[in-house]
Amino acid sequence: MKARPMRFAGSTLFFWTLAAIGTALVPWHMQQDGLSAGGLMALGQQDPEAASALWQAMAHGRFWFWPVVACLVLALPGALPAATASRRAGFLLAGGGLGLAAIVAQGLAIGVMGWSFPWLETTFGELGDRQFGIGLGACMAFIGCLVMLTDGLALRGLFRGDRFVSGAVGLLVASIVIFTAWPVLTMLSQMFTPRGDLGVGAALADRLFDRKIWGLACLGSSVNCGVFWNTLALATSTATAATILGLCFALIVTRTAFPAKRAMRLLTVLPIITPPFVIGLGLILIFGRSGVVNQLVEATFGVQLGRWIYGFDGVFLAQVFSFTPTAFLVLIGVVEGISPTMEEASQTLRASKMRTFRSVTLPLMIPGLANAWLVVFVESLADFGNPIVLGGSYGVLSTEIFFAVVGAQQDFGRAAVLAGIMLVVGLCAFLLQRAVVGRRSYVSVTGKGDAGLQQTLPRPVKIVAFAVAIPWAILTVTVYCMALAGAFVRVWGRDWTPTLSHFRRAFAIEWAPDGRMLFSGGAWHSLFTTIELAATAAPITASIGLLAAWVLTRQRFVGRTALEFSLMLTFAVPGTVIGVAYILTYNIPPLEITGTAMILIACFVFRNLPVGVRSGVAAMSQLDKSLDEAAITLRASTFRALTTIVLPLLKPAIVTALVYSFVRAMTTVSAVIFLVSAEYEMATVFIINRVINGDYGLAIAYCAVLIVLMMTAIGLINLLVGRRKLGRRVAAAPAALPVGGRA
Amino acid sequence: MTLPLQTRSAEVRLQGVGKRYGQIQAVKPLDLVIEGGTLVTLLGPSGCGKTTLLRLIAGLEQATEGQLFIGGRDVTLLPAGERNVSMVFQSYALFPHMSVLDNVAYGLVSSGLRKREAHVRAEATLEVVGLKGFGTRLPSEMSGGQQQRVAVARALVLEPEVLLFDEPLSNLDARLRRSMREEIRALQQRLGLTVVYVTHDQAEALAVSDKIVVMRNAEIAQVGTPEELYTQPNSVFVATFMGEANHIRGRIEAVEDGVARVALDALRIDLPARGMAPGEVDIVVRPEAVRIGPDGQGGMLPATVSRATYMGSHTEYYFATPVGDLFSLGADRLARRMVGDAIGLHFDPEGVVLVRP
Ligand SMILES: Nc1ncnc2c1ncn2[C@@H]1O[C@H](COP(=O)(O)OP(=O)(O)O)[C@@H](O)[C@H]1O
Ligand SMILES: [Mg+2]
């Protein structure tokens, strides 16, 4: 057989060249006014900030780039195909590895104020120079060095000698480190910044043992407790209520002949397409001061109901409305997963239906119920939209973090402490969840339940389930309807004249004198930005997610379990924590991307990665592993096997991942709210600002448009992908959706 | 007839090759030579490491110890794509989104051949396996046996030095299995291929192999031709795995000129000693070698019929004897016996082997 022709693109030499160009030719740092074609040639630039690393070192005395240059020279023999594999591996490992270290070290050590750490200044003396955030050149050099390092590892025989797998793992690890681990650690380190005349320890203790966090004053008096207890109380009650409601729904849908079952299942789609404030707004329009109920009660009985909706009750109600569908979705899987044969066995042993339910069905469901409870608990913990709209003076961690960052005092230390507490609670819940779901790894969780006839419910259980679920379903629909109705009246509660003016204010289109369309409505800008960024992030999310799924399900290598675990760990970080961590990390060099589209895209990608990974894992586990192996034995490279065999067969999963990461990017708020800028405003943030200003009409009109947009998107995939391919059972389609970590 | 395929069969040599998954030793270090142009089966119960050994040869797993040579070349560290071996998977692993022709041409295109040329050669190979004109179909539009042939063609078209089969017939019904195994054997002999064939079915192994490698607990139990394994097993395990057999214990009283005199209660039989010295010995008796002696004759193994099942052409008996229970097929050439009858047994030496305990 002919030897495969050696291609330049993708070879190690290609990546060496990439790194070399990044170091020698193009500007190393990020350019303030963007990169022009002329500015691309940065060797010999007058302005050091616009010069390449090599030129900065040669002409501008920036000695800290010499190690980078030296590492590239060191790596060159490894990139040339001449030498033996083990010698090449040595050069690549040394050059690529040290090169990465040199790039990272210079970026972290030297910032806009010279040395970034005082101890460097005391060691080396004043620097007298400075540098800004990295740009194109540094990125090229980084990627080049990373791939040289992974190629070196593959040449050493790791990853079964597969360069592609090794590179994919390297990419995943690097992106987890850069976009999750580093920001979170940076944020946590902010806890230790000294404040005023307090030292490190005292400042930390002062922040950590704040009465506003841990205070228990509410037990004796009517004062609010600390935010930690508030959050815990809220999350616990929401989780309990939503799990019970979700169970009732799940039992009805899976175990009765209820005619509206299909409609009920639609409920599970709601949390995905609902912008986070719709429910809160709906509740305000019903129970708020000028809400329908309040007005009716006042008109009939002359009693003022007051502002009870603002506070624990309101947030609790809103969260239960928001997260019951999530619990429902999880529990459908749980109930369907119970093998009917167990129940049949119990009945043949002369147990009554009720006894079977109590002694077999319910115990079997306990791990599933606990899982649902924890999922909702985490959602409630991370929820930002409901508490910000309805919380009033009832502060929870997410809103306190927000006010610590954007409020008058701008206390990042406090924000870091609060976020740290939130992170710890979130991780505890995550670890508990792993313990509950069992030692089954993330990869194998996608098992199928037994086939067979599901038992019907015992009568008393059925009555309770219907009595709880039906009113709740009606209430949910009412809240949504009320919320949406608010978009069509002039001023809710005062002026009920039907109007489209809110839509006009948000989405007016005018014709300029020269015939061009002018999107003059106030919402257009944020809508376009949102769609653009969500659409940019979706393919990246889907690719990284599927790549991760493929690596995790199909490859075996040292450290796979660790990679899987750290990936899951990043999923457990609440959105608010990520938001704070990102602004703290990325508003200074070396990676200065605050205020750009990049930070939002990174946030979307890493917040929504679970969608990609989960749909990828679900699809991949249905794909016979010997298909890719067959391709490999048929002389296909790993990359060719992935692109010609795996990807075409994963088309439904890809489309699902794309659309859902797009939709979720459009409805997310908790992290994004910290990251928006005037130029890049997001729809959800625009809406929340209207809500804060009391402009409910416009906010709701905007939500309505978003809901329609996202339903269209989801409807489109169902048309495109078709239901059949998504799985035999109806539940298989939504089961591939991510649960948790939405906020 | 000129074949469109060149054959370049090569010898496979394993030197101390072993595989360990963490704590689990899936294949213990073993030596094995598979001669070029022969069909060798790996036979053994489920979980004994057959598939792992095959995947080691394919390059889908990397050996944790030892060295592997194909055609004299050390391929221990080479990935699957560079080893010049092809594999037919248990599930066939046909690419469902590609036509049969594209499936067969896939390996050629991967190797850098132009698509048109690849299709011409794929077409010719399909003809070799008797599937001329099926190229435009999708795999799902073919029967199990046809899919099997496509999988064989897809592996063959690359003119591999070694062709590997992992339980290729386990998805077919009994009748098709019989004819497919003959076809694979015929093809192997016609093209002179080196084939390594995994199965857990001893009948299949006996029918197709030049040599059989019996595996047990991640080790090789015995290697030999089908006949050697059947008639001269070196362990009770191999003997019972190669066909139905009774296992009893007896004593060698004396060995003379390579012939051992074995005592089983009152019965004395002379058997090839196979290098064994007097003392305790394991004896394997094929059910068809058990005979009922004439009534009243001495020097027999006393037995009672404990169960008799009439099977039409013969009767299956279970006997209780002082040396243990025995199962027999067609032991009663003369007359049917009833449960409880007391009789004497003797053995046809052809179906009795001594095995080192
Ligand atoms: N990927 C793996 N990880 C861990 N153990 C494995 C793996 N593959 C196989 N094994 C173990 O190796 C042993 C041999 O398996 P296998 O070769 O598939 O047996 P066979 O094909 O003979 O049924 C089994 O005990 C199995 O559990
Ligand atoms: Mg097997």
Nearest CA in chain A to B114: A2
Mean of the pLDDT values across residues B130-135? 91
Contacts of B151 (CB under 8 A, 6+ apart): B88, B89, B92, B93, B94, B168
Q: Determine the Cα–Cα distance for residues B285 and B247; give it in Å rounded to an integer.
A: 6
pLDDT exceeds cutoff 80 at B354? yes
Residue of the CA atom closest to atom 1 of ligand 1: B21
Chain A residues lying within 8 Å of B106, measured CB to CB: 631, 634, 636, 644
| Nearest CA residue ID for atom 2, ligand 1 | B21
How far is CA B323 from its chain centroid?
31
Please tell me if residue A5 touches chain B, with a CB cutoff of 8 Å. yes
A74: Cβ contacts below 8 Å, ≥ 6 apart: A91, A94, A95, A98, A99
> Tell me: the pLDDT tens digits for B150-174?
999 999 999 899 999 999 988 888 8
Residues 61-100 of B with CB under 8 A from A: 62, 77, 79-82, 84-87, 89-91, 93-97
Choose the mutation target among B106, B125, B152 for the interface with A, i.e. most A CBs under 10 Å: B106
Residues B95 and B109 sit within 8 Å (Cβ to Cβ): no
Lowest-pLDDT range of A340-354, A490-504, B124-138, B183-197:
A340-354
Q: For A531-575, how does the pLDDT look when each residue is reduced to its tens digit (9 = 90+)?
A: 999 999 999 999 999 999 999 988 888 888 899 888 888 888 888
What pLDDT is stored for residue A741 in this prediction?
37
Mean pLDDT over B193-197 rounds to 94
Residue A725 clears pLDDT 70, i.e. is over it: no
* A337-382 pLDDT per residue, tens: 777 777 777 777 777 888 888 887 888 888 889 889 998 999 899 8
Q: How far is B31 from chain A (nearest CA, A)?
A: 23
A161/B81 Cβ within 8 A:
no
pTM of the model: 0.83
What pLDDT score was predicted for residue B276?
86
Give the pLDDT score at B331: 63
Nearest to A626 among B93, B113, B155 (CB): B93
Partners of residue A155 in chain B, C-beta under 8 Å = none
At the second CATH level, the architecture of B248-355 is Beta Barrel (2.40)
Question: What pLDDT was estimated at residue B335?
Answer: 67
Query: pLDDT-derived band of residue A14, with 50, 70 and 90 as boundaries?
Result: very high
Interface check A4 vs B, CB under 8 A: yes
**DSSP label at residue B90:** T
pLDDT band at residue A28 using 50, 70 and 90 as cut-offs: very high
Least confident of A49-63, A450-464, A666-680, B119-133: A450-464
8 Å CB contact of B159 and A1: yes
**Location of each CATH 2.40.50.140 domain in chain B:** 248-355
State which amino acid sits at residue A21. Answer: I
* Model confidence at A112: pLDDT above 50: yes
Ligand 1, atom 14, residue with closest C-alpha: B49
Q: Which fold would CATH assign to domain A223-443+467-485? A: MetI-like fold (1.10.3720)
CA of B27 to the centre of ligand 2 (A): 12
Predicted local distance difference test score (pLDDT) of residue B37: 93
Sequence ranges of chain B with CATH classification 3.40.50.300: 12-236
Distance B84 CA to ligand 2 centre (A): 22
Chain A residues with CB under 8 Å of B140 CB are none
B112 and A CB contact within 8 Å = yes
Contact, A680 vs A529, CB < 8 A? Answer: yes
Pairing of strands B290-292, B246-256: unpaired
pLDDT band at B3 (very low <50, low <70, confident <90, very high): low
Rounded Cα distance, A102 and A98, in Å: 6
Tell whether ligand 1 has an atom less than 6 A from the beta carbon of residue B50. Answer: yes
**What pLDDT does residue B163 have?**
94
**Secondary structure (DSSP) of A112-169:** TTEESSHHHHHHH---------B-HHHHHHHHHHHHHHHHHHHHTTGGGG-HHHHHHH
pLDDT (tens digit, 9 = 90+) per residue, A312-333? Answer: 999 999 999 999 988 988 888 8
pLDDT band of residue A93 (cuts 50, 70, 90) is: very high
For testing the chain A interface, which of B61, B111, B196 should be mutated: the one with the most A CBs within 10 Å?
B111
Question: What is the rounded distance in angstroms from the CA atom of residue B20 to the CA atom of residue B25?
Answer: 4
Q: Which one, of B104, B106, B110, B94, lies nearest residue B128 by Cα?
A: B104
pLDDT score recorded for residue A293: 85
pLDDT of residue A442: 40
Residue nearest to atom 27 of ligand 1 (CA): B47
pLDDT digits (tens, 9 = 90+) for A401-410: 998 888 777 8
Residue B61 near residue B1 (C-beta atoms within 8 A): no
Q: Confidence band (pLDDT; 50, 70, 90) for B334?
A: low
CA B53 / ligand 1 centre spacing (Å): 10
What band does B333 get if pLDDT is binned at 50, 70 and 90? low
**Partner B contacted by A626 (CB < 8 A):** yes
Please name the fold of domain B12-236: Rossmann fold (3.40.50)
Answer yes or no: are the C-beta atoms of B288 and B330 closer than 8 Å: yes
Give the 3-state secondary structure of residue A64.
Answer: helix
Q: How close is the Cα of A441 to the center of ligand 2, in Å? A: 24
Q: Across all residues in chain B, what is the average pLDDT?
A: 89
Q: Which long-range contacts (CB under 8 A, 24 or more apart) does B221-228 make?
A: B221/B44, B223/B32
pLDDT of residue A731 exceeding 50, the answer is no
Lowest mean pLDDT of A55-69, A635-649, B304-318, name the range: B304-318
Evaluate: CB of B43 within 6 angstroms of ligand 1: no
Q: Quick check: A34 pLDDT over 60?
A: yes
Structure confidence at residue A411 (pLDDT): 83
Are residues A637 and B110, on separate chains, in Cβ contact within 8 Å?
Answer: yes
Q: Is the pLDDT higher at A305 or at B95?
A: B95
pLDDT at B193: 92
CB atoms within 10 A of CB A210: 16
> How far from chain centre, in Å, is Cα A277?
18
Task: Starting at the earlier edge strand, list the strands of the sheet with B211-216.
Answer: B85-88, B162-166, B195-199, B39-43, B211-216, B219-224
Where do the domains of chain A lie?
A: 12-156, 223-443+467-485, 524-685
Average pLDDT (B257-265) is 89
Query: Would you say the CB of residue B49 lies under 6 angstroms from ligand 1?
Result: yes
Between A231 and B171, name the one with better pLDDT.
A231
SS3 assignment, position A512: coil
pLDDT averaged over every residue in chain A: 84
Give the mean model confidence (pLDDT) for residues B202-225.
Answer: 94
How confident is the model at residue B71, as a pLDDT?
Answer: 92
* DSSP notation for B311-347: -SSSEEEEEEETTEEEEEES--SS----TT-EEEEEE
pLDDT of residue A528: 93
More confident of the two residues A41 and A397: A397
- Which residues of chain A make contact with B84, given a CB cutoff of 8 A? 1
Do the two domains A223-443+467-485 and A524-685 of this chain adopt the same fold? yes
Q: Is the CB of B154 inside 8 Å of chain A's CB atoms?
A: yes
Q: What is the CATH number of domain A524-685?
A: 1.10.3720.10
* Residue where the block lists tokens 């870091």: A416
Higher pLDDT, A197 or A275: A275
Ligand nearest to the CA of B213: 1
Evaluate whether A51 touches A57 at the Cβ level (below 8 Å): no
pLDDT in tens, A428-448: 988 888 887 764 434 333 334
Task: For residues A23-28, give the mean pLDDT.
Answer: 92
Both tokens of residue B70? Answer: 């194909």
pLDDT in tens, A153-196: 998 888 888 889 999 999 999 999 999 999 999 998 888 877 77
What angle (nearest 5°) sits at the alpha carbon of residue A156, between those of residues A152 and A158? 95
Interchain contact, B87 vs A633, CB within 8 Å: yes
Look at residue B5 and give its three-state secondary structure: coil
From chain A, the residues in CB contact with B113 under 8 A are 2
Question: What confidence tier does B357 reach under pLDDT thresholds 50, 70, 90?
Answer: confident
Nearest 5°: phi and psi at A461?
Answer: -65, -40
The per-residue pLDDT for A3 is 43
Q: Would you mind telling me the total number of residues written for chain B in this entry? A: 357
CB contact under 8 A, A626 and B58: no
Ligand 1 contacts CB of residue B234 (under 6 A): no
Average pLDDT over residues A512-528: 84
- Specify the amino acid at residue A364: L
- Which of B52, B64, B164, B201 to mutate for ligand 1's pocket (most ligand atoms within 8 Å of CB)? B52
Touching check for A162 and chain B: CB below 8 Å?
Answer: yes
The reply to whether residue B158 touches residue A2, judged by beta carbons under 8 angstroms, is no
pLDDT for the residue numbered A168: 95
| Residue B7 predicted with pLDDT over 80 | no
Q: Find tokens 């009858």 and name the residue.
A: B341
- Please report the pLDDT score of residue A4 as a whole number: 46
A348 exposed, middle or buried (CB, 10 Å; 0-12, 13-18, 19+)? exposed
Q: Which residues of A584-603 are buried (b: 16+ CB within 10 A; e: fewer)?
A: bbbebbbbbbbbbbbbbbbb
Contacts of B341 (CB under 8 A, 6+ apart): B304, B305
B53 Cα to the center of ligand 2, angstroms:
9
With a pLDDT cut of 90, the percent of chain A lying above it is: 30
CA distance B90 to B350: 37
How confident is residue A449, by pLDDT bands cut at 50, 70 and 90? very low
Query: Which ligand lies nearest to the CA atom of residue B20 in the structure?
Result: 1
Q: Across residues A701-715, what is the average pLDDT?
A: 88
A272 or A274, greater pLDDT: A274
User: How far does residue B200's CA lie from ligand 2's centre (Å)?
Assistant: 8
Length of chain A: 743
- Alpha-carbon distance A657 to A548, whole Å? 13
Q: What share of chain B is helix, strand, coil (3-state, %, to 5)?
A: 25, 35, 40
Nearest to B93 among A1, A5, A627 (CB): A627
Asked if A146 contacts A168 with a C-beta cutoff of 8 angstroms, the reply is: no
Please tell me if residue A643 touches chain B, with a CB cutoff of 8 Å.
no
Atom 4 of ligand 1, nearest CA residue: B21
